[in-house]
Chains A and B, each alone.
Chain A
């Protein structure tokens, strides 16, 4: 099955700095890569996603890049703010019979210091 590794497990940055979280996946058939933000006591919420036919996607201060050859994808947050502090999860979703079966990374706890 799919295996997703996420690094780092914790990340602390100063307000205004950039934050980068990286994930690798094992199944070359995976074709959808969402990123979720989970605030304390809440369920994960989708913040950005990318499909395997696209190399980069940007939404304001958030961007995701995908390298299919190397099987890794990254989340980039620029100009971080205290409200960006949360746990971030990457996921890889399969195709065909594995469609809908998302495999999640173990999460990154991001702390943005004012």
Chain B
């Protein structure tokens, strides 16, 4: 019963490098999300995908791109990493838009 699985769990990047965070869910959910969590700032929505084939910007999309590869997978890409993108990233999914959100375990990203 994996739920939402995201990789990698830890990553250190140099400024300007690119990387992709992978996420997959096995609950047959339609909607998927990427959040970032910074100390004292709660969770902020980066991008979301209401259903397969659609993606929309959230609260803090700048510097990121996403791909809804299929119903199961939703990836987050940093094209040119910046120190301000040092954060914990959470992938999440819900059965429908507006339904209960289930989170992955998080990916700790440090940009030096």
Contacts and interface: CB of A to CB of B under 8 A. Distances in A.
Contact of B100 (A46, A95, A99, A106): A46
Given A100-B31, A100-B94, A46 B102 contact: yes
Range class of the B interface residue count: 20 to 34
A93 interface: yes
B2 interface: no
Interface of A: 1, 6, 9, 32, 34, 36, 41-46, 49, 89, 93, 95, 99-107
Interface string B40-68: 11111100101000000011000000000
Contacts of B73: none
Contacts of B82: none
A99 B101 contact: no
B104 A34 contact: no
Given A34-B100, A42-B106, A104 B90 contact: no
A101 B48 contact: yes
Contacts of A45: 103
Given A43-B104, A100-B50, A105 B42 contact: yes
Nearest to B49: A100
B43 A34 contact: no
A101 B42 contact: no
B43 A44 contact: yes
Contacts of B90: 43-44
Contact of B97 (A9, A43, A100, A104): A100
Contacts of B43: 44, 89, 102, 104
Q: Which 8 A-B pairs have the closest CB atoms?
A: A100-B97, A43-B103, A99-B98, A104-B42, A106-B42, A104-B43, A99-B97, A43-B105
B98 A89 contact: no
A100 B47 CA distance: 11
B98 A106 contact: no
A102 B4 CA distance: 18
A99 B30 CA distance: 13
B41 A106 contact: yes
Contacts of A107: 40, 42
